[in-house]
């Protein structure tokens, strides 16, 4: 797993890990509500170090949309709150890369039942040779079954001794 991470030239981030990081930056009191390993502060610090590690991290517009929806829901944000979130977290989002995936490819994909964001990650893997970093167990099982390069968040977090 560590070898996969360190040898990857591009890493596509799924919503789960990105959400933990965004919540930690915006309002760490809500981390317990989104953490995936029941260690909110440690998870945020792990992701913060990971995202600052000089690796090439990417999101797709579909992941950004899911993040926006989740943040709005978790914090019950109005327009002013949304603006505040992007004022605080927007700089980070701008710094990480973006893979544009054509909507036609997503909508006609044979696994469309998994959703737009997941298919965008699968296509980022296929078209851009990116490693997928996800906390979604069902999605990771699909990746494993389809032999799609990925790292499952929980396993990676619990093997974080390298950081």
pLDDT of residue 96: 94
Distance, CA of 9 to CA of 99 (rounded, Å): 14
Number of domains in the chain: 1
Contact 124, 58 (CB under 8 A): yes
For residue 113, give its domain range.
2-162
Give the CATH number of the domain where residue 21 resides.
Answer: 3.40.50.1010
Residue 150's φ and ψ, nearest 5 degrees, are -155, 165
Question: Which helix (DSSP H) or strand (DSSP E) does residue 151 occupy?
Answer: strand 150-152
Largest pairwise CA distance in the chain: 43
- Is the distance from CB of 71 to CB of 26 less than 8 angstroms? yes
Confidence (pLDDT) at 53: 87
Helix (H, G, I), strand (E, B) or coil at 109: coil
Question: Among candidates 80, 92, 115, which has minimal Cα distance to 72?
Answer: 80
Full pLDDT tens readout for the chain, 163 residues: 678 888 898 999 999 999 999 999 999 999 999 999 999 999 999 999 999 988 899 999 999 999 999 999 999 999 999 999 999 999 999 999 999 999 999 999 999 999 999 999 999 999 999 999 999 999 999 999 999 999 999 999 998 755 5
What is the reported pLDDT for 65?
Answer: 96
């Amino acid at each position: 797993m560590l070898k996969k991470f360190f040898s990857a030239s591009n890493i596509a981030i799924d919503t789960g890990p990105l959400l933990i990081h965004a919540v930690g930056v915006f309002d760490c009191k809500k981390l317990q509500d989104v953490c995936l390993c029941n260690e909110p502060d440690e998870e945020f610090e792990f992701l913060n170090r990971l995202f600052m590690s000089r690796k090439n991290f990417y999101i797709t517009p579909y992941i950004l949309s899911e993040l926006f929806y989740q943040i709005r829901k978790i914090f019950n944000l109005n327009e002013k709150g949304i603006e505040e979130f992007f004022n605080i977290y927007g700089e980070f989002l701008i710094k990480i890369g973006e893979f544009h995936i054509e909507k036609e490819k997503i909508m006609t994909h044979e696994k469309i039942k998994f959703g737009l964001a997941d298919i965008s990650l699968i296509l980022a893997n296929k078209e851009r040779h990116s490693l997928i970093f996800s906390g979604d167990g069902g999605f990771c099982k699909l990746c494993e079954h389809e032999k799609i390069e990925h790292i499952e968040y929980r396993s990676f977090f619990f093997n974080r001794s390298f950081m």
